[in-house]
Structure formats: structure tokens, C-alpha cells
């Protein structure tokens, strides 16, 4: 039996039986404002490294703003490093390795107009905001994310939508940023309706942190709007630790499932967060059990000041290989590298990588069909 009635609304009985109710006393914008947003707040809570240099932390905040979501607070109080390391700035962020880049995956190289990236022929990224409900310290778009001056209005993105219409080979639009679901329903609907009107588009995908950073944002109104879409809607939820799967985030994922939204996950392999067999088994097993298909496990991009999050690539390969036979095949994500410079994503396999004698790596670009040399700092 369908969870949604013919008029597009969720059956109240179904909602009460299967989904924890939302906190109607605190709308999601109010909960968003409860996030910790500056160094003084972090220091007052005792969440900063005791030996941390104030000057270095100020520089880290200038590069990428601070927002520790309320959903992470209780875990951080309990000393959960898998949460705190993701969102609390470190003095190590001011250490820029020679190989690290301002635009590590080549967004700008494939930007025919502002706010749009068209790297692969059949899909395009539209960055409808550079704001987020939380700011991840390993963010690969840190030179734009959290900087309000980088945001584009709906009108400013009209050339991007015109470009997509003029390229019928594009069959999927991926809303990203920043976090597209941080927009209000009214602002989000402008972008959705614009893309839904394009005959060539078959699927719409959202890449978002909302399901664990601000699960209250996944309201019944949002779910009903996504359920009404004439296109297939996918949400790729960015989740790095099983600790993020609170009762509220699990309920948010359920609401999306009952709306008919396809659910997948992307994670980043992060030193001190999830770089153990046990952490990955718990994360991907928990996601799979909730109807979320693990999709990508990203090796961290060469964003400036993020070297302290990387483990050696050989160790990353061994960790993922060790999941075989311990999780169902659908619960094992692809270990993915975005070849620096905009040469495309690859799922690491023996056919598309080689190790050079000098310790560098060669990767076969899926877009250029050429071998590209990469140095990862160790």
C-alpha cells in the first residue's frame, strides 16, 4: 500500500506509526540558530585544543566559517571524536601542503557560466547556495562555502538553466553548493520548478548534509513537495560516522523514503573519524539497514589545509577491501578519487591506477582518457 495518498499527502496514521513526530515548538530555522558559530563559544564550552594557537584558529575561521550543529552537541560533550574532528577547527588547517589546491576538483575549469559545472556530458551541477547547516573542516569548496558574497540569486543562475536547456544531452541536474536544502521551501521551489519544466531532465539529485546536521529541516511539507515532482528525485546524504544517525536523523531519512525519494550516501574517509574497519562496518551497515545505499567513500580531495585528514592511499584501499565478505554487496561503497585538476572521479581499481617509482600516483581520467600524475602528501 502506498504511503502517500492520491492527493500527494502522507497518511496521518502511517506517519504516526512509522515516523517520530517533528518538534513543532521549534521550527528548523530556530534550531539552525542554535549552532555554535565562533571561537569564543567553542572555547567557553571547552571544545578547543588546549594548546591551540588563537592566531592559527582565527586564520582557519577566515578560510572556512564555523558552524557546529545542535545535532552534534551532545556527542561532542561525550567526547565523540568522530563528530568533533569534523566540525571544530584545528591549527593544522593553516599548514598548506604544496600539492593542495584552491579548486581541487576543477569546478571552475568546467564552468561555462556562474554557478554551473558541466564535467560529464549527461549531468550538471548547479550550486544554488554556498551556505550550510554545518561547516565541515575538510570541505573541498572551502574557498567559496560559508562566504556569503559567493552566493548567486535565482536570477543570477538563469544563464545556468538556459545552458542546461540548450544541452539536451544533460539528463540529470545535481543541486549542490553548499547545502541546497538549507534554502527555504519558497526559494527551493523556484529552482525545482525551473528544472522540472525541462523535458530533457529525467532525474534531480540533491547532495546534502541536512539529514544529520539539521534533520528537522526534512519537514512533511518538503517531503510532499519532493513527492509531487514529475522527475525522479534522489538525495545523496553526506554522512561520515554512525554517531550521526540519531533518532531524529533516522526519522528524517524515513520521511524521505516514504515520499518516494531515492536515498544514497556519500562519505569521506577521514583520519580520526572513520579510518578503521569497525567504524566503516558500523557506518555502512547502519545506513543500509535504514534503506540508504552507500554510494561513494571519497578519498579526501586536495583542498588547502586538509592534509591532517588523509591516511595513505594504500591503507584506504586495504580498509575498503576488508569490507568484502563482512557486508552485503549493496552496503559497500565505491572508494572514489576525484583526480585533481578536474580530470574526473574514478572508482579505484587495478585498471585505472599505477604507482610510480617516486611514490606518486598515475590515474586514468574518465573524461580525458589520459593518465594523470598526482602527488598526495603523506
- Catalytic residues, by residue number, are 119-120, 123, 132, 136, 139, 141, 301, 338, 345
Classify residue 158 by burial, with Cβ atoms within 10 Å: 0-12, 13-18, 19+.
middle
Please give the DSSP secondary-structure letter assigned to residue 327. Answer: B
The answer, yes or no, to whether the previous bond of 110 is cis (omega within 30 of 0) is: no
Distance, CA of 211 to CA of 246 (rounded, Å): 10
> Count of residues for the chain?
378
Quick one: residue 131, left, alpha or beta (phi over 0 = left, psi -120 to 50 = alpha)?
beta
Q: In what order do the strands lie in the sheet with 361-364?
A: 353-355, 361-364, 371-374
What cell was used for 325? 565478505
Distance, CA of 39 to CA of 59 (rounded, Å): 11
Reported in sequence order, the residue ranges of the chain that DSSP labels E, i.e. its strands, are: 116-117, 123-129, 172-177, 203-208, 232-238, 262-268, 293-298, 334-338, 345-347, 353-355, 361-364, 371-374
Q: Within 13 Å and on the Cβ side, how many CA atoms surround 291? A: 17
Distance, CA of 145 to CA of 184 (rounded, Å): 18
Amino acid at each position: 500500500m502506498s504511503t502517500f495518498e492520491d492527493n500527494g499527502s502522507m497518511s496521518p496514521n502511517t506517519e504516526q506509526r512509522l515516523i517520530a513526530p517533528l518538534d513543532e515548538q521549534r521550527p528548523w530555522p530556530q534550531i539552525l540558530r542554535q549552532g555554535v558559530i565562533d571561537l569564543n563559544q567553542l572555547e567557553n564550552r571547552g571544545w578547543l585544543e588546549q594548546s591551540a594557537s588563537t592566531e592559527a584558529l582565527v586564520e582557519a575561521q577566515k578560510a572556512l566559517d564555523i558552524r557546529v550543529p545542535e545535532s552534534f552537541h551532545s556527542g561532542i560533550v561525550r567526547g565523540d571524536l568522530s563528530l568533533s574532528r569534523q566540525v571544530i577547527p584545528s591549527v593544522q588547517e593553516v599548514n598548506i601542503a604544496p600539492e593542495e589546491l584552491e579548486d581541487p576538483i576543477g569546478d571552475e575549469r568546467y564552468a561555462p557560466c556562474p554557478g554551473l559545472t558541466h564535467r560529464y556530458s549527461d549531468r550538471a551541477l548547479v550550486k544554488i547556495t554556498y551556505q550550510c547547516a554545518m561547516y565541515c573542516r575538510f570541505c573541498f569548496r572551502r574557498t567559496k562555502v560559508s562566504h556569503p558574497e559567493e552566493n548567486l540569486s535565482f536570477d543570477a543562475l538563469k544563464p545556468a538553466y538556459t545552458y542546461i536547456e540548450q544541452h539536451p544531452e544533460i539528463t540529470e541536474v545535481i543541486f549542490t553548493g553548499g547545502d541546497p536544502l538549507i534554502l527555504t521551501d519558497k526559494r527551493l521551489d523556484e529552482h525545482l520548478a525551473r528544472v522540472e519544466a525541462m523535458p530533457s531532465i529525467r532525474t534531480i539529485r540533491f547532495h546534502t548534509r541536512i539529514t544529520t546536521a539539521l534533520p528537522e529541516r526534512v519537514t512533511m511539507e518538503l517531503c510532499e513537495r519532493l513527492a509531487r515532482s514529475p522527475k525522479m528525485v534522489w538525495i545523496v546524504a553526506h554522512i561520515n560516522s554512525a554517531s550521526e544517525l540519531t533518532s531524529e536523523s533516522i526519522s528524517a531519512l524515513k520521511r524521505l523514503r516514504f515520499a518516494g525519494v531515492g536515498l544514497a550516501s556519500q562519505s569521506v574517509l577521514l583520519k580520526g573519524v572513520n579510518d578503521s574497519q569497525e567504524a566503516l562496518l558500523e557506518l555502512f551497515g547502519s545506513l543500509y539497514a535504514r534503506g540508504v545505499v552507500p554510494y561513494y567513500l571519497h578519498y579526501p580531495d586536495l583542498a588547502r589545509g586538509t592534509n591532517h585528514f588523509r591516511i595513505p592511499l594504500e591503507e584506504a584501499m586495504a580498509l575498503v577491501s576488508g569490507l568484502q565478505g563482512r557486508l552485503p554487496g549493496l552496503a559497500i561503497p565505491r572508494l572514489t578519487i576525484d583526480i585533481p585538476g578536474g580530470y574526473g572521479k574514478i572508482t579505484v581499481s587495478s585498471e585505472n591506477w599505477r604507482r610510480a617509482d617516486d611514490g606518486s600516483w598515475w590515474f586514468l581520467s574518465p573524461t580525458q582518457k589520459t593518465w594523470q600524475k598526482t602527488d598526495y602528501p603523506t
